[in-house]
């Protein structure tokens, strides 16, 4: 191994070249210059350097032996020791809740979907109201009917491609004249329907404007989904949200008939995480934050529209195919 020089380059350049005449050096005998005894300071420095080197070498050797063999007399760790340490950590450290982790992983991809319909008021009625309020003023003419937008349905969507491609339920946007989205950062944008899959109650939307940092959700195949596996539903029940509920997969390959009996959905994931009107179109998420389904329906044997413990989601494979994406 090449040894490091003892002098810097500038120090070597300051020395006289070999063979150069130096009257003061020439007057000193070579033997005297070679055999001159070292000074006391040089001797102390040499002793300090040797001692420090020995201490460092000993410390390094001791550390290596400790890492390799453990402290003197110590026994090897057993599986019981490891289990006790893990149990102690679980009992003394607060771990993040699975639902919280799942929500954090998907929250940026969840959007509020609002379907708007037209509300028309006859100009004759408007004129009558004006006359009653302003009898002292001349009558004002109006051109035709006035058109406003009103909310006809609120649901949830999930971004599956970061260009603003969003999955939701068909019944959320069906019949809407205008579709409005509200992203996680508060950005509002209109959306267009680019694909439909009525047999799975799915609609694919494309936002006309998206946040700069929009991220798509991660999707996971349901091939190995098991009964009892924990899942989290994220959405806007009754327009409130984003809201999070947590439960388990309680059934697979279920069928559901709409209350009107007009449509039968098949191959559904049954779950018991609380869902209500407004959750429709939202993601059903695993503890790892991966989307396995799109929440589409709740079962209630009465005419009331609230959750009694059974919800259904369309498997993400069907949802991805609706968006023209290849299956898993």
Cα angle 156, 160, 163; round to 5: 105
DSSP for 140-157 reads ----S-EEEEEEEEEEEE
Tell me which of 243, 245, 250, 280 is the catalytic residue.
Answer: 280
Helix (H) or strand (E) holding 173: helix 170-173
User: Quick check: is 201 catalytic?
Assistant: yes
Tell me which of 123, 130, 171, 221 is the catalytic residue.
Answer: 171
DSSP for 253-266 reads EEEEE-TTSS-EEE
Q: How far is 22 from 11, CA to CA, in rounded Å?
A: 18
In angstroms, what CA-CA distances link 279 with 143, 157, 312? 40, 9, 11
Strands (E), 84-145: 110-121
b/e burial code for range 248-264 (CB count within 10 A of at least 16 → b): ebbeeebebeeeeeeee
Tell me which of 201, 243, 246, 272 is the catalytic residue.
Answer: 201
User: Quick check: is 190 catalytic?
Assistant: no
* Sequence-ordered list of residues with C-beta below 8 angstroms from that of 320, at least 6 positions apart, any chain: 160, 219, 326, 327, 328
User: Quick check: is 185 catalytic?
Assistant: no
Helix (H) or strand (E) holding 92: helix 79-92
Candidates 253, 243, 250, 251; CA nearest to 283 is 243
CB under 8 Å, gap of 24 or more: what pairs does 91-100 form?
97/246, 98/230, 98/232, 98/246, 98/287, 99/232, 99/244, 99/245, 99/246, 100/244
Q: How far is 245 from 231, CA to CA, in rounded Å?
A: 9
Token pair in block for residue 7? 């002098």
Which residues have a catalytic role annotated?
A: 171, 201, 280
């Amino acid at each position: 191994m090449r040894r490091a020089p003892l002098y810097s380059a500038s120090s070597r350049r300051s020395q006289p070249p070999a063979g150069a005449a130096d009257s003061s050096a020439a007057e000193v005998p070579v033997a005297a210059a070679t055999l001159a005894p070292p000074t006391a300071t040089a001797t102390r420095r040499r002793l300090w350097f040797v001692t420090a080197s020995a201490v460092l070498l000993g410390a390094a050797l001791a550390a290596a032996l400790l890492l390799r063999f453990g402290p003197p007399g110590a026994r090897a760790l057993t599986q019981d020791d490891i289990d006790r340490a893990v149990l102690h950590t679980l009992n003394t450290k607060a771990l993040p809740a699975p639902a919280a982790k799942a929500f954090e992983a998907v929250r940026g991809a969840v959007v509020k979907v609002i379907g708007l319909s037209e509300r028309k008021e006859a100009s004759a009625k408007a004129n009558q109201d004006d006359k009653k309020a302003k009898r002292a003023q001349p009558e004002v003419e109006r051109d035709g009917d006035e058109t406003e937008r009103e909310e006809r349905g609120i649901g949830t969507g999930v971004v599956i491609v970061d260009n603003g491609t969003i999955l939701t339920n068909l019944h959320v946007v069906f019949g809407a004249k205008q579709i409005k989205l509200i992203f996680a950062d508060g950005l509002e944008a209109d959306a267009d329907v680019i694909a439909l899959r009525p047999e799975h109650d799915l609609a694919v939307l494309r936002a006309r404007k998206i946040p700069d940092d929009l991220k798509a959700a991660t999707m996971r195949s349901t091939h190995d989904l098991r009964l009892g596996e924990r899942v989290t539903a994220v959405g806007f029940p009754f327009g409130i949200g984003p809201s999070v509920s947590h439960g388990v997969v309680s059934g697979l390959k279920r069928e559901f008939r709409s209350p009107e009996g007009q449509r039968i959905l098949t191959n559904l994931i049954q779950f018991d995480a609380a869902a209500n009107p407004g959750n429709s179109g939202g993601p059903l998420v695993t503890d790892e934050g991966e989307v396995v389904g799109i929440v589409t329906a709740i079962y209630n044997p009465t005419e009331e529209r609230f959750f009694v413990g059974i919800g259904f989601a369309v498997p993400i494979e069907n949802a991805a195919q609706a968006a023209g994406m290849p299956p898993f």
